[in-house]
Amino acid sequence: MPTTATAHTNIAFIKYWGKKDARLNLPTTSSLSLTLSQFYTTTTVTQNTDKDQLILNGELADPTRIHHFLNTLRDILGDFPAVTVTSENHVPTSAGLASSASSFAALTGAVTREMGFDLSNQSLSRLARRGSGSASRSFYSHFAVWHAGMDDTSSFAESLNAPDMPIALVVAEVSTAAKKVSSSDGMQRAITSPNYSDWLNSSATQFVDMQSAIQQSDIEKIGALAEENALAMHALNLTARHKPFTYFTRETQQILALVSDLRRQGILAFATMDAGPNVKIITTLNDAPEIVATLQSALPQIHLEIATSGSGIVYD
């Protein structure tokens, strides 16, 4: 019997940006994210007698990365047969979001169930971390924290018990013409920044402050902390001693300027960016339409979507 799992993507408000162990994907800092309802991956795992295969959005795709990850699971859990992984990504490239978080979470959930394991979300998050660090946070609804930990056992994500709040994210996809630097490569460069130890310190403080802001449903404080954290992350890329770079394009900068303008007009709007030029604007359900309208009229070529808080992993 095939097994199907659906996991949503997540956006880090306190970022993971650096590894202290690249093989185990142990991060240098703890991170915190919001799971998004609109963007998800549904993955079905079927056993086969041949070799690991990937069918992505209806087409045969290169299985190298998932084969490597499945072999890591085989080493940890004990050997299991070859599988066919059929994945539908509802994380449109047009939304400019990375799908690795939802993909590796859905795959981890589906393959372990298919092989007869009944694992807690905490155990699943440790396994998914080996495929993509941010995937560790995609098992949970609403807010999740990934504790950096000291070793494989202590580095896991869990749900943050948080009140419901009218938080929304405006996702602005800009041109992806800029050359892509993978997140692993970007992190390796960023840790060579002379500012890296300051980043570790400020991230630890922001991680604590962010949790208080969430408990108080203080969306303005959540946004302000997330923007500060994201800008510091991107400053590390610019100040890296080894191959400095930026993910920002001219449109990224234009959107950042519009976000500050909106704030001056009394709209709740704060920006966060990941390993690419797209901007996600943290706001309220109330203010989101006005942000969309402003960005759409200033930059008609960009694609905009409003996302809200999403659910944890589900199995069919």
- Answer for which of 16, 69, 156, 207 binds ligand PMV (CB under 6 A) is 16
**Which positions from 182 through 211 interact with ligand PMV, judged by CB under 6 A?**
183
Out of 18, 63, 109, 133, the residue judged to bind ligand PMV by CB under 6 A: 133
Scanning 66-74, 116-124, 130-138, 195-203 for contacts with ligand PMV by CB under 6 A, the matching segment is 130-138
In terms of Cα–Cα distance, which of 311, 263, 309 is closest to 287? 263
Nearest to 21 by CA among 168, 173, 154, 215: 154
Positive/negative CA dihedral, 253, 258, 261, 263: negative
Q: Does 41 bind ligand PMV (CB under 6 A)?
A: no
Number of Cβ atoms within 10 Å of the Cβ of 213: 20
CB of 184 to ligand PMV, least distance (A): 6
User: Cα(32)–Cα(47) distance, rounded to whole angstroms?
Assistant: 34
Taking contact as CB under 6 A, which single stretch among the options 11-19, 219-227, 258-266, 297-305 is the one that binds ligand PMV?
11-19
- The CB-of-64 to ligand PMV minimum distance in angstroms stands at 16
Q: How far apart are CB 107 and ligand PMV at their closest, in Å?
A: 14
In the complex, what is the shortest distance from the CB of residue 278 to ligand PMV, in angstroms, rounded to a whole number? 11
φ and ψ at residue 144, rounded to 5 degrees: -135, 150
Among residues 71 and 184, whose Cβ is nearest to ligand PMV? 184
Asked if 274 touches ligand PMV (CB under 6 A), the answer is yes
Nearer to ligand PMV, 214 or 262 (CB): 214
Its sign, for the CA torsion 178, 128, 185, 235, is: positive
Task: Give yes or no for residue 291 binding ligand PMV (CB under 6 A).
Answer: no
Polymer length of the chain: 316
User: Which of residues 132, 193, 206, 283 is near ligand PMV by CB under 6 A?
Assistant: 132
- Interface stretch with ligand PMV, choices 120-128, 132-140, 147-155, 218-226 (CB under 6 A): 132-140
Among 101, 11, 83, 94, smallest CA distance to 44 is for 83
Name the nearest CA neighbour of 134 among 30, 209, 236, 247: 30
Which positions from 92 to 111 touch ligand PMV by CB under 6 A, shown as an x/- string? ------x-x-----------
Short-list 245, 98, 252, CA closest to 186? 245
165 CB burial (10 A radius; 0-12, 13-18, 19+): middle
What's the distance, CA 122 to chain centroid? 17
Cα 165 from Cα 218, distance rounded (Å)? 9
Instruction: Please give the Cα distance from 83 to 52 (Å, whole number).
Output: 5
- Minimum CB separation of residue 10 from ligand PMV in Å reads 7
Residue choice 145, 167, 267, 275 for contact with ligand PMV (CB under 6 A):
275
For residue 274, the minimal CB distance to ligand PMV (Å) is 4
Binding mask of the shown chain, residues 164 to 183, with x at each position contacting ligand PMV by CB under 6 A? -------------------x
Binding site for ligand PMV (CB under 6 A): 12, 15-16, 31, 98, 100, 132-134, 183, 274-275
